[in-house]
Structure 1
């Protein structure tokens, strides 16, 4: 049975802090889509992972949450932010001054590349002061919070605040950037590839710290990455993007143990894992489409081993495949049998990638 994404979101999310409704981003006078009709509800205090290949629309989704799509992109649809149960803010209707308050104070973002996010001529403390002053916050109180946040991230505040960015390692810069993004006490933290330039040990360390920060500060987190198994150990739910739209959404444990979309299964089979023999690893064949050349029907059909005439001519809706788990595929049941996972029997990982 096909049901709309709005209905699916309502059934999955009891207390949404953000709801995206039919959000699209276009360029070239509306002819090129880099985000295509995305609807997604984000539960208050959850960690949701947004996953997909480079160029799938993940970063554009993040920018849309803050109405920060770079010109000349055109953003349409609705982004609702609910700071509490009685108030709803339509983000795309805010004036510039209201948007400046929303960003950092309510919804904060950690952009890609910590090493390029700091002014190399300023000490770290100056970055905190500049942010606090720009939002008319009490600097002394804000710096006290900065000390606490840096300690939470296992950094020495006095050393970090007195340093220039180049005097910090990549992992220290990334953790400092997370502290800076939280200094104004936002409710939502959006992170775009926050661990991409870090080694595996530092990646795992950052994930553990993020889990602790979520618990201590009641944060909602949107974690954007190309690495599905990495974020699966952190997230409550995972959303997989392909060709600028959502193709699968569900609980993290089930998305690892029993993914339904052929693309999700291909992503997992292409990822190094101790349980998968090297000979069984398979790259995802072909290339993801460019915005000006998205295939008709199911956008994944040129790369899919299960494609049929129906896939080539009709666009699959998001269907329910299990409680709280949806996928945009006409043949998701066949995918689970005809595209076996190479790392374990389904259910063997219990939501943990080993």
Structure 2
């Protein structure tokens, strides 16, 4: 990976991108309020990318932008390009409604938080699969065979699940059935927006392991969006950290966990519950992230940052290279390790030790 210098931003480009995002912004209030602030990002074919940040940081808006599915009256600008393996590049934001409907399930699919809200409670699961297949003119018999295989991959019994209504399945079963539904048209990219947030820790861990198996078996590219850094650290190849609608750090997972350059990333690690560390060592992040209508000037993290200087308050920082393929949008990334030490580095290493990809 290299840093691609651009007039307005810097992008960590990859060797074989499947999606390129350039200067993506989502605004409301006639352009006065940003809920995604000029994000540029490459997604490598076949990788799992974790996108991590607090609630309200813009993670879900970035996910919706990948499918040009930003809720009205939001306005999405920038460039999003999808690269099929054996076809011409696709300008996602230039597609018509029919083309978008096809792209959203057949090429780039999404799993939302809360499976119950994604299913029609009056339809059994078989009908959900059948309607999805018919909507895309897919072969019904072959599609249902694939659905059964996917359900078995997710440790579900196909006939029982397909014959059930959503309320007859547990939360974990619903979420796994939704993952199978999202993959039934064989998309290249699977975007998951907090897919395990409503589940207990054991089920979260189980689904994480199943997703790793699915990614390998079907050669998927995955985007896993979460506020839970340890959860995604055991799954993702790379992580991107978001704060106040901006991308503030990106790099390989082990580099992010072991040598974070941005003070926010370090504070996020220190505030995360960890079974290997005493509760007394947790460090909550002081203050609150800004709302779209109260965005501070300069680095948006400066009101909460112990390293903030006048430069931070007035100028938006570029990315600085912390390591190979690892960048941090912080003027003081070199001092951050001393000023914001990780309070239990050994236990954080266990997050990716032996399990990271």
TM range (shorter): over 0.9
**How many residues are matched?**
352
Residue of structure 2 in register with 1:288 after alignment = 289
Residue of structure 2 in register with 1:271 after alignment = 272
Distance 1:122 1:116 in 2: 13
Distance 1:42 1:168 in 2: 34
Distance 2:354 2:344 in 1: 9
1:269 shift after superposition: 0.4
Distance 1:345 1:334 in 2: 21
Distance 2:57 2:354 in 1: 23
Q: Could you say if the C-alpha distance between residues 301 and 163 of structure 1 is closer, same or farther in structure 2, counting changes exceeding 3 Å?
A: same
Query: Which residues in structure 2 correspond to 1:296-315 (within 5 Å)?
Result: 296-315=297-316
Residue of structure 2 in register with 1:229 after alignment = 230
Distance 2:223 2:329 in 1: 21
Residue of structure 1 in register with 2:133 after alignment = 132
Q: Is the 8 A contact 1:2 1:317 kept in 2?
A: no
SS in 2 for 1:160: helix
1:274 shift after superposition: 3.0
Residue of structure 2 in register with 1:255 after alignment = 256
Query: Which residues in structure 2 correspond to 1:11-26 (within 5 Å)?
Result: 13-26=14-27
Structure 2 unaligned residues grouped into runs of 5+: none
1:74 shift after superposition: 0.5
Q: Could you say if the C-alpha distance between residues 290 and 258 of structure 1 is closer, same or farther in structure 2, counting changes exceeding 3 Å?
A: same
Distance 1:350 1:158 in 2: 37
Residue of structure 2 in register with 1:107 after alignment = 108
Residue of structure 1 in register with 2:67 after alignment = 66
Distance 1:275 1:285 in 2: 23
Q: Could you say if the C-alpha distance between residues 353 and 308 of structure 1 is closer, same or farther in structure 2, counting changes exceeding 3 Å?
A: farther
SS in 2 for 1:53: coil
TM-score by length of 2: 0.95
SS in 2 for 1:24: strand
Aligned Cα RMSD in Å?
1.8
1:277 shift after superposition: 2.3
Distance 2:210 2:54 in 1: 25
Distance 2:104 2:5 in 1: 33
Q: Is the 8 A contact 1:229 1:353 kept in 2?
A: no
Q: Is the 8 A contact 1:3 1:318 kept in 2?
A: no
1:170 shift after superposition: 0.4
Structure 1 unaligned residues grouped into runs of 5+: none
Distance 2:352 2:28 in 1: 38
TM-score by length of 1: 0.96
Q: Could you say if the C-alpha distance between residues 207 and 348 of structure 1 is closer, same or farther in structure 2, counting changes exceeding 3 Å?
A: closer
SS in 2 for 1:333: coil
Distance 2:29 2:225 in 1: 26
